[in-house]
Amino acid sequence: MTQLALDFGHRTAHDAADFLVTPSNRDAVLWLDRWPDWPAPALVIHGPRQCGKTHLAHVWRARSGARIIAPDEIDDGAAADVLLGSSRYAVIDGGDKVVGERGLMHLYNMAAERGGGLLLTAGSPPARWNIALPDLRSRLVAAPAVAVSPPDDGLIGVLLVKIFHDRQLRVGDGVVEFLTKRMERSFEAAGWIADALDREALAAGRSITVPLAKQILDRFEQLIPRSNDKDP
């Protein structure tokens, strides 16, 4: 993979060609590149909202032919063979949201019996999930769990430039540097601020300038709690 595509509501592409490998996601990319030589029938990618977990999962799905299974499809009465269909692999985007533990256990076992496995995304590693079924807990805790971390200053700048370019926005000198030094270091913040700047600039028929960026940043800090004040 070479680039990271972002999805902040206006964009839904999940192509590997749009992927930027950075220090925040490099470990996860390396694990996906090791497939199918994983040491266990499951891999868990965890991290904060909008850090790219779903994009990574879709890139891997395209490679592996995995079925995408929503967390709410997996209840204790779910038939693993029906969920998997003819595939050996499945993506569960939100593995920590599955309530049917026995259903997930059966799905794990069937994928493993077929010589395949599961890719699960979550906000935290399985050791922090509230799993009551001992056999399921032991399997998931033993699976490799790799974190995608929040972006650093350099990546925040790259993200903003990419979002502005994707939206074909005119951005004044110094705007990216101004935002990078002052905004919250999160993918979610970058998406929110870029979207607000886009709307404001369009409504006013103006370019994005540092004063406008300051106005939007002040609004963001009033309306959106810091991500480090929230559970992942």
**What is the average per-residue pLDDT within 147-162?**
84
Whether 28 contacts 50, CB under 8 Å: no
Mean pLDDT of 54-79: 94
Q: Which residue has the higher pLDDT, 230 or 24?
A: 24
Spell out the residues 6+ positions from residue 204 whose beta carbon is closer than 8 angstroms to its own.
212
Whether the pLDDT of residue 21 is over 90: the answer is no
Q: What percent of the chain has pLDDT over 90?
A: 57
Split at pLDDT 50, 70, 90, the class of 8 is: very low
Question: How far is Cα 14 from Cα 17, in angstroms, rounded to an integer?
Answer: 9
Per-residue pLDDT tens digits for 91-103: 999 999 999 999 9
The Cα–Cα gap between 76 and 216 comes to: 46
Q: Which range has the worst mean pLDDT, 45-49, 166-170, 194-198, 208-212?
A: 166-170
Residue by residue, DSSP assigns 26-89 as HHHHHHHHHTT--SSSEEEEE-STTSSHHHHHHHHHHHHTPEE--GGG--TT--HHHHHTT-SE
Distance in angstroms (rounded) separating the CA atoms of residues 78 and 19? 34
Residue type, 93: D
The structure's pTM equals 0.71
pLDDT at position 155: 80
- Supply the mean pLDDT for the chain: 86
Local confidence band at 28 (pLDDT 50, 70, 90 cut-offs): very high
Instruction: Kindly indicate the confidence band of residue 151, based on its pLDDT and cuts at 50, 70 and 90.
Output: confident
Query: Residue 12's pLDDT is what?
Result: 37
Please check whether residue 121 is in contact with residue 132, taking contact to mean a CB–CB distance below 8 angstroms. no
147 — pLDDT class (breaks 50, 70, 90) = very high
Q: Which of 17-26, 105-114, 117-126, 145-154 has the lowest mean pLDDT?
A: 17-26
User: b/e string for 63-93 if b means 16 or more Cβ within 10 A?
Assistant: ebebbebebeebeeebebeebbeebbbbbbb
What pLDDT, on the 0 to 100 scale, is given for residue 190?
Answer: 85
Question: Using an 8 Å Cβ cutoff, are 80 and 110 in contact?
Answer: yes
Average pLDDT over residues 12-34: 73
What count of other Cβ atoms lies within 10 Å of the Cβ of residue 222? Answer: 7
pLDDT of the residue at 7: 38
User: What domains, with CATH codes, occur in the chain?
Assistant: 24-147 (3.40.50.300), 153-229 (1.10.8)
**Span 123-149, mean pLDDT?**
97
pLDDT band, residue 19 (cuts 50/70/90): low
Q: Which residue has the higher pLDDT, 187 or 231?
A: 187
pLDDT in the model for residue 9: 37
